[in-house]
Amino acid sequence: MTNKSDNPAVAKNKIPVIDCDVHPNPKQYEDLNPYLSDYWRDFLNDCKWKGIFPNIPSMPIVANAGHRMDSVPPEGGLGCSSLSYFKEDVMDRYNYANAILFPDSTFQLAASPQHEMATALASAYNDWEIEHWLEKNPNLRGSVVVASQDPESAAREIDRVGSHPQMAQVGLSIHSPYGGWGDKRYYPIWEAALRNNLVCTFHVSVPGGLFRPGPVYVNYYPEDQTIHTLTYQAQVASIVFGGVFEKYQELKMLFVEGGFAWLPSVMYTMDTHWRNLKREVPWVKRPPSQIVREHMWFGTQPFIEPARHEDEKHIVDILKMVGTDRFVFTSDYPHWEFDAPHAALATIPIDIRRKILYENAVGLFALPDPV
């Protein structure tokens, strides 16, 4: 993982950056209270809710509970809980044209069996995000947070705030609460996203609650981090073979914090089995690799950092095999895995670097060209 650089040359770099994965936090979870009904405010206060559901255990992270030490603003609070500090410490330093926000911890809302509570919290997060971040900086874009275990309520929430001019995407977890994301029960979410011209973005999440364990159980956090990619692979296959893009041909999906080195293998494996078994999925009319290249984008984080210098060229090969227009820059700020944009992509050819740092995001999210 690439750390920040204090080199002033970084700040002067002429290539603008659109960061498609930033996680703001309230200074404290009580800051969400004004956006909750009296009922849910009292309920959560009595539960002593602190952002993590009791029935969704998360493995302890020895790296400062997952946040960079320097992401905590001088006045205290959680990492990335001050817009002014984030602007000074990150946006100005790295020449950000835009940052796309996905409120921290909300990727776990859909794991809660208490779906009414999760729906209320999703709504509170959206109103908090709009008031405290989006409306205070025109260069920010937001995520509509939803509790996808209740797709109909999720669709209503997307319609409630999705038309805000700075909303860019629907924020979802890579784990799905009931069956893979290719399941028909999630159609209301895709339809609401299309009505509001929003990208559907999937973020890494951990098993627990309605999120069933992955292919294997893990004992250690490095294991947990390593097998995230297996869930991404499974969900890409579920969406493609479920025929989601045959029904919703204008839908766009972005997958962040799951890496990308696995993509060529999955694409070509799907093509192989589709050719041999297409009789079972007659609704899939095109090769799966073509569907991926037309409808899916992928974040760079965690970016590949080969131990051997001679292996760096293979990163570019992987990008080209998928399509260099399929990748957007994602930093994962304020988490400990943060990738500083120009340092992370330093060995990538300049034309591909421009695509990843801002050009592809301009097209995906219909943003103004910063150049």
Does residue 232 lie within any of the structural domains?
Answer: yes
Instruction: Give, in order, the Cα–Cα distances in Å from 181 to each of 194, 245, 263, 273.
Output: 16, 12, 18, 20
Q: Is the dihedral of CA 7, 8, 12, 16 positive or negative?
A: positive
Give yes or no for a contact between 49 and 29, defined as CB atoms under 8 angstroms apart: yes
Does residue 299 lie within any of the structural domains?
Answer: yes
Does residue 4 lie within any of the structural domains?
Answer: no
Cα-based torsion angle of the residue sequence 255, 216, 111, 361 in order, rounded to the nearest 10 degrees: -10
CA distance 67 to 70: 8
Whose CA is closest to 30, among 77, 95, 89, 94?
77
Does residue 24 lie within any of the structural domains?
Answer: yes
Whose CA is closest to 95, among 303, 325, 340, 299?
340
Cα-based torsion angle of the residue sequence 20, 26, 27, 29 in order, rounded to the nearest 10 degrees: -140
Question: Which H or E run includes 299?
Answer: strand 296-299
| pLDDT score recorded for residue 20 | 97
- Domains of the chain: total: 1
Token pair for 48: 């002593």
β-bridge partners, 101 = 22
- Report cis status (omega within 30 of 0) of the bond before 151: no
Whose CA is closest to 74, among 30, 33, 27, 31?
27
CA distance 354 to 344: 13
Report helix angle 263-277 to 288-295, nearest 10.
130
β-bridge partners, 171 = 145, 201
Question: Which H or E run includes 221?
Answer: helix 221-226
Task: Provide the whole-model pTM.
Answer: 0.91
- Report cis status (omega within 30 of 0) of the bond before 103: no
| pLDDT score recorded for residue 10 | 40
Does residue 2 lie within any of the structural domains?
Answer: no
Residues whose CB is less than 8 angstroms from the CB of residue 8 and which lie 6 or more positions away in sequence, other chains included: none
What are the CB-based long-range contacts (under 8 Å, 24+) for 157-160? Answer: 157/119, 157/122, 157/123, 157/126, 158/189, 158/192, 158/193, 158/195, 158/196, 158/198, 159/192, 159/195, 159/196, 160/123, 160/126
Does residue 159 lie within any of the structural domains?
Answer: yes
| pLDDT score recorded for residue 138 | 97
φ, ψ of residue 359 in degrees (nearest 5):
-65, -45
CA 76 to chain centre: 26
| pLDDT score recorded for residue 100 | 98
Per the structure, the complete domain to which residue 258 belongs is given by 17-365
| pLDDT score recorded for residue 4 | 39
Q: Which CATH number do you get for residue 32?
A: 3.20.20.140
pLDDT by 10s per residue, the chain, length 371: 344 344 443 444 579 999 999 999 999 889 999 999 999 999 998 888 877 666 565 666 655 667 778 888 899 888 899 999 999 999 999 999 999 999 998 988 999 999 999 999 999 999 999 999 999 999 999 999 999 999 999 999 999 999 999 999 999 999 999 989 999 999 999 999 999 999 999 998 887 788 876 655 677 777 777 777 889 999 999 999 999 999 999 999 999 999 899 999 999 999 999 999 999 999 999 999 999 999 999 999 888 777 788 778 888 999 999 999 999 999 999 987 888 888 888 889 999 999 999 999 999 999 999 98
Does residue 5 lie within any of the structural domains?
Answer: no
Whose CA is closest to 303, among 321, 325, 328, 322?
328
Does residue 3 lie within any of the structural domains?
Answer: no
Q: What's the start-to-end Cα distance of the chain, in Å?
A: 28
Give yes or no for a contact between 199 and 167, defined as CB atoms under 8 angstroms apart: no
CA distance 271 to 223: 29
β-bridge partners, 100 = 141
Instruction: Give, in order, the Cα–Cα distances in Å from 272 to each of 48, 236, 244, 268.
Output: 51, 15, 20, 6
Give yes or no for a contact between 79 and 72, defined as CB atoms under 8 angstroms apart: yes
